[in-house]
Amino acid sequence: MIHLNDPRHRLLETATPLQRLNRLEARTGRAGLYLKRDDQMDMALGGNKLRSLEFWLGAAFAEGADMLLVAGGAMSNLCRLTAAVAAMVGLDCVVFHNAPADAASRDRAFLNRLFGAELRFLGPVGEDERGAAMRRAAQELKAAGRRPYLVGDAVVGALGYVLAAEELWNQTHAAGLALRHVFLAGSMGPTEAGFIFGNALLGNPFAVHLVSVEYEEAELVARTQLIYDGLARHTGFAVPAFATLGVTCHMDWLGAGYGEPTAEAERAILTLARTEGILLEHTYTAKTFAAFLALSTQGALPAGEAAAMIHTGGLAALFSQFDLFRSLGPGGQDPASCAAFP
């Protein structure tokens, strides 16, 4: 059992489901396809950031914080879940959005307002400037007697997915399932690095596949490795060097870049919705699922080896992505369900 010394405030009482995709298996003729349903969590539409928030909240309480500060885009899953968790535990929450202070941004940040967070719109600034604005505000708040905790430390946030690797291992073990391949969205790195670190502590039972949805391969690897090494220092656990672990990056599903829709992602959304009744969104999970399905059904992975994708949630975004669907969006023709199937 992996034992972490960091304070953890439990938000998730039970393991998220590991669901076998029976209809998809039948339709593709490929056995052994699973989804780890981290979109199925009790709070605020769920998603990967809730696992991280258990440790950010633990740290905040350990420091005696009386409010949470968080920064992100107007549709950020991190901001939504932080606002929800702050409401749940009775802390104030200030959200810094790098978006213009207009009606469209306020609409996109609707759920954060619903959870009672204070929103500050910084205009269309970059990530560095956004972080600097949050740190400046934290100093001002401290000077005024408040005790803010800045949500987002990558290493602390990654701890949630160290435990997720163990949770998945326990589930497969209990089910007698020899799960081999695990697919994750490749983005800023905490989720990926945490899972890879947990997997390394377990003896590397899973072959980890990162599907880039944001960066070029070198940057994805560098970001993930930096957090992985940070976890080793932070926890004191001895783990193999990142480069020896055999993590595979898949770059062919990124398309024109972060948040840019692709035909494969659209088809992935339709396919999963129409075979299993499960939702994906364009930015993270649809591209990851497209890669997972293509690689596991088109001979890239040995047919006898079971494969799972971790569904990291983010489904609130789907409701603002209507225009991204070429087939269903404004003026689009609804494809027949069979035509939508690869």
Give contact residues for ligand PLP (rule: CB under 6 A): 47-48, 77-78, 185, 187-192, 284, 312-314
CA gap 187, 179 in Å, rounded: 23
* Ramachandran bin of 113, using left for φ above 0, alpha for ψ from -120 to 50, beta for the remaining angles: alpha
| Strands across the sheet containing 92-97 | 118-121, 92-97, 67-72, 148-150
Q: In the bound complex, what is the minimum distance in angstroms from residue 136's beta carbon to ligand PLP?
A: 24
Q: In the bound complex, what is the minimum distance in angstroms from residue 140's beta carbon to ligand PLP?
A: 27
Q: In the bound complex, what is the minimum distance in angstroms from residue 284's beta carbon to ligand PLP?
A: 4
CA gap 321, 16 in Å, rounded: 26
Q: In the bound complex, what is the minimum distance in angstroms from residue 66's beta carbon to ligand PLP?
A: 26
Closest CB to ligand PLP among 32 and 247? 247
Closest CB to ligand PLP among 28 and 52? 52
Q: In the bound complex, what is the minimum distance in angstroms from residue 131's beta carbon to ligand PLP?
A: 14
Residue written as token pair 């001895």: 238
Q: In the bound complex, what is the minimum distance in angstroms from residue 49's beta carbon to ligand PLP?
A: 6
* Ramachandran bin of 43, using left for φ above 0, alpha for ψ from -120 to 50, beta for the remaining angles: beta
Closest CB to ligand PLP among 18 and 184? 184
Closest CB to ligand PLP among 47 and 58? 47
Residue nearest to ligand PLP (CB): 314
Q: In the bound complex, what is the minimum distance in angstroms from residue 161's beta carbon to ligand PLP?
A: 8
Closest CB to ligand PLP among 191 and 262? 191
Q: In the bound complex, what is the minimum distance in angstroms from residue 33's beta carbon to ligand PLP?
A: 19
Closest CB to ligand PLP among 32 and 47? 47
CB-based burial label for 330 (10 Å; 0-12, 13-18, 19+): exposed
Closest CB to ligand PLP among 28 and 48? 48
Closest CB to ligand PLP among 296 and 312? 312
Q: In the bound complex, what is the minimum distance in angstroms from residue 77's beta carbon to ligand PLP?
A: 3
Closest CB to ligand PLP among 28 and 161? 161
